[in-house]
Structure 1
Amino acid sequence: MTTTPSPDQLLVLLEVARSGRFTTAAETLGVNHTTVARNVAALERTLGGRVLVKGTDGWELTALGERAARAAEAVADAVRRLAAGDAAPDPVAGVVRMTATDGFSAYVASPAVARLREQHPDLAVELVTMTRRATSHRSGVDVEVVVGEPQVSRARALRLGEYELGMYGSRAYLERHGVPRSVGDLARHGLVYFVDSMLQVDSLDAPRRLVPGMRDALTSTNVFVHVEATRAGAGLGFLPCFCADRHPDLVRLLSDQVRDRLPYWAVVHPEAWRRPAVTAVVDALRTQVDVMRDVLLGAPVASS
């Protein structure tokens, strides 16, 4: 029996490590779930230990699995060079999977990726929107963009920049209910914001801390729902300025008293950081945040 891992087994492991799911890896590779499981089991027998363990967010690499994944990346790179023939292959290629908040995904990540793909057309980015803390071990996600400084041990954390949030009301709503002139006035209005019981990011508690008497009017896990609900007059919304200032029908209230600034951080796990495509995406995000610095900090933008 050979003691050398099969290249096919290594490539299967690499895809499971990137997706965190046997089923997703199978779809990407064009095989069935059983074939993926059989290749992983065979690789573990050859290497004499577990390469994957079940985590809360999918399959995660063990220490042995990380070594095998590094070998798999070398195999995948060799295949890309072979396919490229005489031309040097573009290392910024393949799929990069990332998570980020709704607003960041739409207004920062999207243009950053669009520009990056102009230079690297073989790059694809899968972007899942969510607002949560960074996970210590998250298999299948290359980059996590989170709000607030992450507490992670194995991953690399990079500060991208800051954004500002403020209290807003629609012009029609303010005509009907009056313009609040003090923080005390705000407490007489309903709040449009995140669902308190589902809020996983402690630093996003600002409106309930700044205006403790303000009651919830409409809550959602999606910031674009906050914006549209505020525009519709459901209440006053505590909104990212770079999202709200795009809409001329929204008016910022008490900007010198009710405001908060929060940082965006990118979290990249070790197995992902070795990929040129991942580092290129992170660099593109940092550049885009720098370009948008004034807008993120509350300078008005053109309406859309």
Structure 2
Amino acid sequence: MLLAVAREGRYTGAAERLRVNHTTIARRIDALERSLGGRVLVRGAAGWVLTPLGEHAVAAAEEVERAMRGLSPDEPALAGVVRLSATDGFSGFIASPAVAALRERHPGVSLEIVAATRRAAAQRVGVDLEVVVGRPHVHRAEATHLGDYVLGLYASRTLLERRGAPASVDGLAGEPLVYFIESMLQVDALDTARRSTRRMVDAVSSTNVYVHVDATRAGAGYGLLPAFLADRHDDLVRIFPDEIEERLPYWLVCRPEALRQPTAVAFIAALRGRMAEVSDALLGRPSPAG
């Protein structure tokens, strides 16, 4: 049970994972501390954290867990829930295919996604992993660069036929823009990305990037869109690609406890695999097959 609390950071989370009452978890931890003669957990800002004694106890428990998995080679090696907070586009294009690939080998693994475009949280309560746009400044967490993607400016073919294509970037002044709601945008990198379109006029604004794509396809305006989403639609045309291209980084933020979860570690590997698989699409490059 100590292993479950170390991975979840909460008694209630460990209880859900083990399907027992959280008071049972508390009693077992109390008994373990009496047996070992010291504290194994202390309360931190974002949940329970291990003491040095707890670190030794968890290391021993992980050795036992690995040995038990080795005794049952025919059983699924991994099972459990990974909780992820990520942007809409990343959730759909990267995380969902990644967990699908992981579940082919480990059907006991499941993924819960909280779709949000925001800065890295100060306290990662309720999620194991976060993916944010822009380099995060975090404490008591591991942050690693996953890869980059690009934003480009797109228009529907019908919009270009109706209004005519602008002759230059300067000609975009006063034209309708589809992008995030400026007053609600919490991510500096996404706000900075708007620099090439500052003289355009907001036409449709949304916190959801899939709304941006659909509104652009409907002809509501020029969309500042992720290439990996827009390039899949033949009715969208990218304009001024050499002059309007914003390259943005995806960063992964992990609770230290999450890195003790074999399911979370496997899912991170699956995310990296998916990022490598679609790197050309993320950067708006034609695929080798194309």
Global fold match (TM > 0.5): yes
| Residues in 1 aligned to 2:170 and 2:27: alpha-carbon distance in whole angstroms | 63
The reply on whether 1:161 has 2:147 as its aligned counterpart is yes
Letter in structure 2 aligned against 1:269: R
Aligned to 1:214: 200
| Residues in 1 aligned to 2:84 and 2:206: alpha-carbon distance in whole angstroms | 22
Pick aligned residue for 1:126 from 112, 134, 153 = 112
Aligned to 1:248: 234
The C-alpha deviation readout for 1:86-105, integer Å capped at 9, x for no partner, is: 51465432111112211111
Listed as ranges, the matches of 1:91-110 within 5 Å are 91-110=77-96
The reply on whether 1:202 has 2:188 as its aligned counterpart is yes
TM-superposed CA distance for 1:275, in Å, is: 2.0
Aligned to 2:126: 140
Aligned to 2:72: 87
| Residues in 2 aligned to 1:163 and 1:148: alpha-carbon distance in whole angstroms | 11
Aligned to 1:282: 268
| Residues in 2 aligned to 1:70 and 1:85: alpha-carbon distance in whole angstroms | 22
Report sequence identity in percent.
Answer: 48
TM-superposed CA distance for 1:127, in Å, is: 2.0
Unaligned runs of 5+ in 1: 1-6
The structure-2 alpha-carbon separation of the partners of 1:85 and 1:299, relative to structure 1 and needing over 3 Å to count, comes to: closer
Letter in structure 1 aligned against 2:154: Y
**What secondary structure sits across from 1:154 in the alignment?**
coil
Letter in structure 1 aligned against 2:226: P
**What secondary structure sits across from 1:282 in the alignment?**
helix
Pick aligned residue for 1:36 from 22, 26, 43 = 22
In the alignment, is the contact (CA less than 8 A) between 2:135 and 2:251 conserved in 1? yes
Pick aligned residue for 2:243 from 257, 267, 286 = 257
TM-superposed CA distance for 1:71, in Å, is: 5.0
In the alignment, is the contact (CA less than 8 A) between 1:163 and 1:262 conserved in 2? yes
In the alignment, is the contact (CA less than 8 A) between 1:108 and 1:288 conserved in 2? yes
**What secondary structure sits across from 2:112 in the alignment?**
strand
Aligned to 1:271: 257
The structure-2 alpha-carbon separation of the partners of 1:286 and 1:11, relative to structure 1 and needing over 3 Å to count, comes to: closer
The C-alpha deviation readout for 1:2-21, integer Å capped at 9, x for no partner, is: xxxxx5xx47746863xx69
| Residues in 1 aligned to 2:165 and 2:282: alpha-carbon distance in whole angstroms | 25
The reply on whether 1:298 has 2:277 as its aligned counterpart is no
TM-superposed CA distance for 1:260, in Å, is: 0.3
Letter in structure 1 aligned against 2:118: R
Letter in structure 2 aligned against 1:111: P
Unaligned runs of 5+ in 2: none
| Residues in 1 aligned to 2:82 and 2:219: alpha-carbon distance in whole angstroms | 39
| Residues in 2 aligned to 1:70 and 1:204: alpha-carbon distance in whole angstroms | 43
Q: What TM-score does the superposition give when structure 2 sets the normalisation length?
A: 0.82
The structure-2 alpha-carbon separation of the partners of 1:67 and 1:273, relative to structure 1 and needing over 3 Å to count, comes to: farther
Letter in structure 2 aligned against 1:255: P
In the alignment, is the contact (CA less than 8 A) between 1:161 and 1:265 conserved in 2? yes
Letter in structure 1 aligned against 2:249: P
**What secondary structure sits across from 1:205 in the alignment?**
helix
In the alignment, is the contact (CA less than 8 A) between 2:143 and 2:253 conserved in 1? yes
Paired residue total: 281
| Residues in 1 aligned to 2:251 and 2:192: alpha-carbon distance in whole angstroms | 19
The structure-2 alpha-carbon separation of the partners of 1:74 and 1:194, relative to structure 1 and needing over 3 Å to count, comes to: farther
Letter in structure 2 aligned against 1:208: R
**What secondary structure sits across from 2:250 in the alignment?**
strand
Pick aligned residue for 1:179 from 146, 165, 171 = 165
TM-superposed CA distance for 1:30, in Å, is: 5.0
The structure-2 alpha-carbon separation of the partners of 1:116 and 1:85, relative to structure 1 and needing over 3 Å to count, comes to: closer
TM-superposed CA distance for 1:286, in Å, is: 1.0
The C-alpha deviation readout for 1:41-66, integer Å capped at 9, x for no partner, is: 8857967798446x6xxx522455x9
| Residues in 2 aligned to 1:121 and 1:42: alpha-carbon distance in whole angstroms | 30
The C-alpha deviation readout for 1:12-40, integer Å capped at 9, x for no partner, is: 746863xx694x76665556xxx536854
